[in-house]
């Protein structure tokens, strides 16, 4: 009598357990969500993008899976719940570059010096930060995050990456001792020769603080 019920019950229990344990996230699987309508962003998000227009069609209550009489009325020309990309942009990307020729509020107006005109930069650019302890300390912190990997802690061009990336300048070398802060600022912003541009990684002030620190470092090393 009960032995059959017991069997069915245990089979049911095992089945539910297997189904639930398959909800766990795995290497290539995000697992199951319980309120997908609340999780997926409706406005554009900077770092996620779902280009598949049918993604999340199933959570829509108007979908034919749930209501038979709406089969003819469901509007498939509209993208489904999870779809999140901007069809007006290339590749449907949601992130955009700033419009050329515009300046963000609170930012400096651009200085029109050609990227490779170091002579003009050295002559015209003035460091807006003051040379207090705090500025140099912050410059050191930034130098350690953005320059040390190549130029090394003392500026000798022996950072950890220098074993694989050749031609890194020894900032204490003869050719670089006379460089002024304007020149260094220009090098950080646009790069020079083998060194890439670091302008996209650092704000204007941060670049000036680093330039200040580099000069302090050179003095220290002499």
Angle at alpha carbon of residue 171, lines to 167 and 176, rounded to 5°: 100
- In the chain, where do the E strands start and end? none
- Pattern 149-188, ligand HEC, x by CB under 6 A: xxx---------x--xx-xxx-x----x--x----x--xx
Per DSSP, what are the bridge partners of residue 26?
Answer: 29
Could you tell which of another protein, ligand HEC, none binds residue 188, using a CB distance below 5 to 8 A set by kind?
A: ligand HEC
Please list every residue from 182 through 211 that binds another protein, using CB under 8 A. Answer: 193-198, 200-201, 203
- Selected from 59, 93, 195, 204, the binder of ligand HEC by CB under 6 A is 195
Residue written as tokens 């770092």? 47
Q: Does 25 bind ligand HEC (CB under 6 A)?
A: no
List residues bridging with 50 in a β-sheet: 84
Cβ atoms within 10 Å, residue 2: 7
Is 218 a binding residue for another protein by CB under 8 A? The answer is no
Residue 23 contact among ligand HEC, another protein, none, beta carbon within 5 to 8 Å by kind: another protein
What does 14-41 look like in DSSP terms, one character per residue? HHHHHHHHTTS-BTTB----S-HHHHS-
- Residue 50 CA to residue 44 CA, distance in Å, equals 10
C-alpha distances out from residue 203 to 57, 72, 107, 189, 194, Å: 43, 55, 9, 9, 22
Enumerate residues 84-123 that contact ligand HEC by CB under 6 A.
none
Strands (DSSP E) found in 11-121 = none
31-60 positions binding another protein, by CB under 8 A: 31-35, 38-42, 46-48
Please pick, from the candidates 3, 99, 126, 178, the single residue that binds another protein as defined by CB under 8 A.
Answer: 178
Which partner, ligand HEC, another protein, none, binds residue 75 by CB below 5 to 8 Å per kind? Answer: none
Beta carbons within 8 Å of 202's beta carbon, 6+ residues apart: 142, 146, 188, 210
210 binds ligand HEC (CB under 6 A): yes
Closest to 41 in 3D by CA, of 62, 22, 56, 24: 56
* Binding-site ranges for ligand HEC (CB under 6 A): 35, 38, 47, 146-147, 149-151, 161, 164-165, 167-169, 171, 176, 179, 184, 187-188, 192-195, 198, 210, 214
Residues within the interface to another protein (CB under 8 A): 10, 13-14, 16-35, 38-42, 46-48, 91, 93, 144-146, 148-149, 157, 160-161, 164-170, 172-176, 178, 193-198, 200-201, 203
């Amino acid at each position: 009598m009960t032995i059959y019920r017991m069997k069915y019950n245990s089979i049911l229990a095992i089945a539910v357990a297997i189904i639930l344990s398959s909800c766990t996230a795995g290497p290539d699987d995000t697992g199951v969500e319980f309120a997908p309508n609340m999780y997926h962003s409706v406005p554009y998000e900077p770092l996620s993008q779902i280009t598949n227009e049918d993604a999340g069609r199933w959570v829509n209550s108007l979908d034919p899976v749930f209501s038979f009489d709406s089969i003819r009325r469901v509007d498939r020309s509209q993208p489904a719940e999870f779809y999140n990309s901007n069809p007006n942009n290339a590749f449907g990307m949601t992130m955009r570059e700033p419009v050329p020729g515009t300046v963000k509020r609170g930012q400096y107006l651009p200085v029109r010096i050609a990227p490779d005109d170091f002579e003009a930069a050295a002559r015209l650019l003035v460091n807006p930060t003051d040379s207090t302890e705090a500025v140099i300390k912050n410059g050191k912190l930034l130098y350690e995050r953005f320059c040390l990997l190549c130029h090394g802690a003392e500026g000798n061009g022996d950072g950890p990456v220098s074993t694989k990336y050749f031609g890194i300048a020894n900032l204490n070398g003869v050719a670089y001792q006379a460089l002024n802060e304007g020149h260094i600022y220009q090098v950080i912003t646009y790069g020079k020769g083998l060194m890439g541009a670091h302008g996209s990684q650092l704000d204007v002030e941060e670049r000036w603080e680093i330039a200040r620190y580099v000069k302090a470092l050179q003095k220290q090393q002499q």
